[in-house]
Structure 1
Amino acid sequence: MQPANIQQTHTDISVARLSSYRTMFHGANDHELYGIYCWNEALSATLFRLISITEVVMRNRFHTALSLHLHSHRSVGRNDSNDWYNHISLSAKSSDKIRAETHFYHKKSNSWRPKKRQPSANDVVSRMTFGFWPKLLDISGIAWGQLLPQIVPGHRYKDAKYWSVIKHQDAFYARMDLVNRIRNRIAHFEPVWKQGDLYEERRERPGSPKPIIEFHAPASPTEVILRLKLIHDRITELLKWLSPDRYNDYMSSYVERHFNWICSAEGLDAYKQLQPGVNMPMARFKRELNSLLARQAMVTVSRKNRPVGTYYPMLR
């Protein structure tokens, strides 16, 4: 949206918040900085949609695999959905998260008591945060080598021998942790383009060398775009591991095409000029197609004042 008062808009957003934009996108004037701020919001929205799809699949994979595991070993509840979280050694923090859903705090007795109407296992797991799931890999006494092939059926390695190796579990943990950190950055309204050094997908453990830096922090708008594309690729790969079908659905979706348009030099420039897209009727779109191709513009096409599709240019 076009700001009516650009100085007040900067004040409302926070001059301090925009200072990092001014440093990275050196030379941009006040209107262009606001456009880049809107660009970041659009990027965050598309990435968050992808992360949300991935998160739902991830928790359901863990939930089903652990339910089946506990049912077969201890005959706990339904085989595909039960309270496995009450029968394994969760960390104190994870236990507190579960208890907050299954119990209430009784002030007079200064104790936690079970809710009279217990939520279903599906309800409990649906309320766990993204970070709850990677931490499960730290729990001992669970045959992760056998369970992980069920959790990531789309991974190129499908045998228990591979997944029994700690460094392979750590790589999976690191991938989930990367997505969780991006999710938290977006949820806290931090600039998603602002990334630090990217380390190899490995966990730091006592007695082992520290993970090495694969990519240093982006130092230019071009590097920012490349890093965001890399992050997007790693999230989509995680989704593919978890569910090849959901991955295929996403890759053929409007959201994926929209991300590719926004996360490009052309998309950045369009937002920078406060012209992220053009709306026009079908007849005009046909007449002006050649000029739109030259302008590399994204166009929402309408018929009888109703959107019927979006045209994305072939990016260089």
Structure 2
Amino acid sequence: MVNHSSMLPPAVAFEQIVSKPRLDSYRGYWKVGRDAAVGLYMWNGEVCGEMSKLLSYLEICLRNGIHREMSFHVSGGVDRSVHWWDGVAGQLKPEARSQIQKVRDKSPHVLLSPDEIVSRMSFGFWPNLLAWIAKQRPKVASKILPAHPLSQPGAKLNWFNAPARQRAVRQFLEFSEIRNRIAHHEPLWKFAAVLDTAPNPATQLFPASTDEATTLARFERLMKQYDEAITSLSPLLHASIRTSSWRMRLDFLLSPRGVRRFKDCRHVTHPTALDATAFSDEFAAVVQRDMPVKLRDERGEGIFVPT
């Protein structure tokens, strides 16, 4: 009988590594003991890692789409990469102009190309810029997000409709907030309430998460929003991401079984490596044990993870 918790860093030592208050937040929210809290802390790290991959695709696709279409817009359809921000500088918000200037100021003796400036802007710059474009340049927004419902010819609701436009942009702004939480090592599972600030007073769209069930429900909503956002930018990219092995792994992590594996400290690799014959003979036991296991042959070792 394997003691799964003994394969983890001792909880007391782990508290000293990540701080007791940080680990206590897991114990209180998930209502678990120390060992389970350590497992859930590692679960959050795994979720953050996979979510970062998703957000990197979103960022690249969004920023490149904005850069391309704004370049075409400013150059009259001639060039897909120009310093378009200079052409609309008088209309851009001061914060956007300031962020662009900061990038330029870091290389005062070099004339940065448009692509170089774009590559050095932070993730948060783009959703905010999209909000400005959607309001000030609705036709450009429809080209940046060609598969979005608001971009479809003859759509009853389009980018000229303020409430619909605000709802569409809010999705991208939420991803910026998720990216910030990952960067600052904050728990992704602790969701704040989502408010619709269009009406006065603001109305609540989704309540804050309070336990495992509501956390997984909010993650389900987040993943649905991600799929919609990526599809609006590029249906082909979404199809590729949706069938990737790491997206499937994230879906598993965000399932009750995925959470339970880490809560029960079964995410650590079983210490015994199996060859092909032993793996075949013990397959049912491996699946029932629900732990990663090392596989070994003459070429080396790999890991099998039940999902």
- Alignment TM-score, normalising by the size of structure 1: 0.83
CA shift for structure 1 position 22: 1.3
Residue number in structure 1 paired with 2:282? 288
Corresponding position of 1:183: 179
Q: Point out where structure 2 has 5 or more consecutive residues left out of the alignment.
A: none
Q: Name segments (4+ residues, structure 1) moved above 6 Å.
A: none
Q: 1:216 to 1:138 in 2, by over 3 A?
A: closer
| Alignment-mate amino acid for residue 80 of structure 2 | D
Q: What SS class does the counterpart of residue 163 from structure 1 fall into?
A: coil
State the alpha-carbon separation in 2 of the partners of residues 302 and 55 from structure 1. Answer: 39
Q: Which residue in the other structure is 2:54 paired with?
A: 50
Assess, with a 3 A threshold, how the Cα gap between structure 1 residues 166 and 12 changes in structure 2: closer, same or farther.
same
> Are 2:52 and 1:59 equivalent residues in the alignment?
no
**CA distance, structure 1, for counterparts of residue 293 and residue 168 of structure 2:** 39
Q: What residue ranges of structure 1 are gaps of 5+ in the alignment?
A: 105-113
Q: Could you report, residue by residue, the CA deviation over 1:13-59 in whole angstroms, capped at 9, with x for unpaired residues?
A: 11111222111111x22111111100110111111110111111000
**Preserved contact between residue 144 and residue 164 of structure 1 (Cα < 8 Å):** no
For the structure 1 residues 37 and 288, does the alpha-carbon distance in structure 2 shift closer, same or farther, using more than 3 Å as the test?
same
Partner of 1:103: 105
Other-structure match for 1:81? 81
Question: Could you list the per-position Cα deviations for residues 231-262 of structure 1 after superposition, in whole angstroms to 9, with x for gaps in the alignment?
Answer: 12211221111111111111111111110111
In structure 2, the CA distance between the partners of 1:257 and 1:141, relative to structure 1 (3 Å rule), is: closer
Tell me the amino acid that sits aligned with residue 286 of structure 1.
Answer: S
Q: What is the aligned partner in structure 2 of residue 153 from structure 1?
A: 146
- Specify the alignment match of 2:168 in structure 1: 172
Match of 2:300 in 1: 305
- The reply on whether 1:126 has 2:115 as its aligned counterpart is no
Rounded Cα–Cα distance in structure 2 between residues aligned with 1:282 and 1:235: 39
Distance across 2 between alignment mates of 1:297 and 1:245? 34
In the other structure, the counterpart of 1:18 is 23
| Count of aligned pairs between the two proteins | 293
Measured at CA, do residues 137 and 262 of structure 1 come closer, stay the same or move farther in structure 2, by a change above 3 Å?
A: closer
What does residue 227 of structure 2 align with? 236
Identity of aligned residues (%): 22
Q: TM-score, structure 2 length as denominator?
A: 0.85
Q: Does the CA contact (< 8 Å) of 2:69 and 2:144 recur in 1?
A: yes
